[in-house]
């Protein structure tokens, strides 16, 4: 058991390092340096700039320097925002991104799963149909459309929530709904179908035949087993939340990491692109690891299967 976790952890660290190297090489394979402008920069200035950011070193030296920086959590200076480092950008943006993201994950778990369970229990009822209709809507409409609709109706027409920023508690509603919309719908659909599958199983009939109360049949036997595929999906959900933040933060003008990332993409701020990519990838890898560990704890079958396969 312990060996499995250790193995997975080392493997995740290796993944992060590999992602960092690939990102570094990709950004350095772009023709033209980070200071290429439409109007040519004089050679002397270019030389000084390259020397300042150590861009005149051989690629391998730059690579080792950068990787050393990644290992010591130093992602270098930003090329387009003079005087700020990528670390500064991340530390200033992370709190907002993390709060909105945490609320989104929380609402996916606390709203998505119960909705799925309820609609599975009331299969064929009007509750089931309306939940599934809503879930279909959530899966088919892109997050940027949901976000703009929220701004248009709830901020613009009704004036219930502020249209941008995170100044008041109400202002979290829009970003959280837009961010969690897709995954929430997906999770409730997944929970419903897996719940329906579980409810047909023999052990549920056995539990009922043993005279257990309906509540404990549902909560202890059905839901617990139905959640296994949902837990697997939580890893990709985190990816959806993170990449969703690019758009949602831009629309709601939230000063988070996602917005910096989009800005850096359009400004060609290579160090910021690299830094944020590595941060996101590392975060994602760690979350997937966490989900896998939870998964192995919840379902012993999977742990042994994985161990015997390795």
Partner 1 sequence: MPPGPERFVRLEEQENTANAETTRPSLTYWQDAWRRLKNHKPAIAGLVGVVLIILFAVFGPLFVRESYSDQNLDFSNLPPTLAIFELAPDYYVFRTEDYKVLRIGGDGEILYRLPRTTQDPIKKLYTYSDGDQDIVLDFSYNLLPGKMDSPFDYSFVYQGNEITAPAKTVLNKNYPFGTDVVGRNLLVRVMYGARISLTVAFVASLVNLLIGVAYGSISGYEGGRIDIIMMRFVDLLNSIPLVLYVILIMVVFGNRGLNTMIIALGSVYWVTMARLVRGQILALKEQEFVLSARALGVPRSQIIFRHLVPNAMGPIIVSMTMMIPSAVFTESFISFIGLGVSAPMASWGTLANDALTGLLSYPYQLLFPSLAIAFTMLSFNMLGDGLRDALDPRLRKG
- Residue with token string 């005149």: 56
Quick check: 15 binds partner 1 (CB under 8 A)?
A: yes
How far apart CA 32 and CA 37 sit, in angstroms, is 9
Label residues 277-287 b or e (16+ Cβ within 10 Å = b). bbbbbbbbbbb
Label residues 230-248 b or e (16+ Cβ within 10 Å = b). bebbbbebbbbbbebbbbb
Number of shown-chain residues binding partner 1 (CB under 8 A):
40
Residue with Cβ nearer partner 1 (192 or 268): 268
Among the residue ranges 169-177, 212-220, 265-273, 300-308, the one whose residues contact partner 1 (CB under 8 A): 265-273
Among the residue ranges 43-51, 203-211, 237-245, 293-301, the one whose residues contact partner 1 (CB under 8 A): 237-245
One residue of 94, 162, 231, 250 binding partner 1 per CB under 8 A: 250
How far apart CA 135 and CA 190 sit, in angstroms, is 10
**Which of 222, 263, 102, 226 shows the shortest CA–CA distance to 172?**
102
Quick check: 156 binds partner 1 (CB under 8 A)?
A: yes
How far apart CA 19 and CA 172 sit, in angstroms, is 32
The CB-of-145 to partner 1 minimum distance in angstroms stands at 4
One residue of 31, 42, 83, 300 binding partner 1 per CB under 8 A: 31
- Exposure of 310 in the CB half-sphere (CA atoms within 13 A): 12
Quick check: 21 binds partner 1 (CB under 8 A)?
A: no
The CB-of-149 to partner 1 minimum distance in angstroms stands at 8
Quick check: 18 binds partner 1 (CB under 8 A)?
A: yes
Quick check: 293 binds partner 1 (CB under 8 A)?
A: no
Residue with Cβ nearer partner 1 (14 or 203): 14
One residue of 242, 257, 291, 296 binding partner 1 per CB under 8 A: 242
**Which of 3, 1, 12 shows the shortest CA–CA distance to 289?**
12
Residues in contact with partner 1, shown as a per-residue x/- string from 200 to 229 under the rule CB under 8 A: ------------------------------
* Other beta carbons less than 10 A from residue 9's beta carbon: 13
Are 271 and 86 a contacting pair, CB within 8 Å?
Answer: yes
Binding stretches for partner 1 (CB under 8 A): 12, 15, 18-19, 23, 26-27, 29-31, 136, 139-145, 148, 151-152, 156, 239, 242-243, 246-247, 250-251, 262, 265-266, 268, 273, 277, 280-281, 284-285, 288
């Amino acid at each position: 058991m312990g060996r499995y976790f250790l193995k997975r952890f080392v493997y995740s660290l290796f993944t992060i390092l590999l992602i960092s190297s690939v990102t570094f090489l990709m950004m350095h394979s772009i023709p033209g340096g980070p200071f290429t402008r439409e109007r040519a920069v004089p050679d002397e200035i270019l030389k000084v700039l390259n020397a300042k950011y150590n861009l005149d070193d051989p690629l391998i030296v730059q690579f080792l320097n950068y990787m050393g920086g990644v290992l010591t959590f130093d992602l270098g200076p930003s090329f387009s925002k003079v005087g700020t480092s990528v670390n500064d950008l991340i530390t200033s943006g992370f709190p907002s991104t993390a709060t909105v993201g945490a609320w989104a994950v929380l609402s996916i778990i606390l709203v998505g799963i119960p909705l799925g369970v309820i609609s599975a229990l009331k299969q064929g009822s009007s509750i089931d149909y309306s939940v599934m209709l809503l879930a279909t809507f959530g899966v088919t409409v892109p997050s940027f459309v949901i976000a703009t609709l929220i701004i248009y109706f709830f901020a613009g027409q009704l004036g219930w929530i502020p249209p941008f920023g995170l100044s008041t508690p109400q202002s979290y509603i829009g970003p959280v709904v837009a961010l969690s919309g897709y995954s929430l719908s997906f999770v409730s659909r997944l929970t419903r179908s897996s719940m329906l599958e579980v409810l047909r199983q023999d052990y549920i009939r056995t539990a009922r035949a043993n005279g257990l109360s309906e509540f404990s049949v549902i909560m202890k036997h059905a839901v617990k087993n139905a959640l296994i595929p949902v837990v697997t999906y939580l890893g990709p959900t985190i990816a959806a939340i993170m990449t969703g933040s690019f758009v949602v933060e831009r629309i709601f003008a939230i000063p988070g990491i996602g917005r910096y990332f989009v800005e850096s993409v359009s400004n060609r701020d290579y160090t910021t692109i690299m830094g944020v990519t590595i941060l996101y990838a590392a975060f994602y890898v760690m979350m997937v690891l966490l989900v896998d560990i939870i998964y192995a704890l919840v379902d012993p079958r999977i742990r042994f299967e994985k161990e015997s396969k390795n």
